[in-house]
């Protein structure tokens, strides 16, 4: 299988990704876990998530 075939994202999969992003955004912005977060606090949260994702990729 070529690299292009492995990295192709179908419309269905993209829809699922958008739904996931919307749920994550709602959790952050609506204060479900962090009451009235500032923009800077949201950036920190997203940075922590990104760091965790990169670290988990290195383990594989």
Q: Tens digit of pLDDT for each residue in 25-56?
A: 898 888 778 888 999 999 999 999 999 999 99
Structural domain containing residue 30: 3-59
Q: How many CB atoms lie within 10 A of CB 44?
A: 13
Enumerate the H helices of the chain as residue ranges.
Answer: 3-7, 11-29, 39-59
Number of structural domains in the chain: 1
Distance (Å, whole) CA 3 – CA 53:
21
Express as a percent the part of the chain with pLDDT over 70. Answer: 88
In the predicted model, is pLDDT for residue 1 greater than 50? no
Report pLDDT for 5.
57
Which of these, 16, 19, 53, 49, lies nearest to 34 by C-alpha position?
49
Report pLDDT for 58.
80
Q: Tens digit of pLDDT for each residue in 9-18?
A: 999 999 999 9
């Amino acid at each position: 299988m070529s690299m292009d075939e492995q990295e192709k994202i179908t419309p269905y999969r993209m829809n699922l990704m958008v739904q996931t992003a919307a749920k994550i955004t709602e959790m952050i912005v609506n204060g479900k876990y962090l009451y009235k977060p500032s923009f800077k606090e949201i950036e920190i949260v997203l940075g922590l998530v990104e760091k965790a994702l990169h670290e988990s990729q290195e383990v594989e």
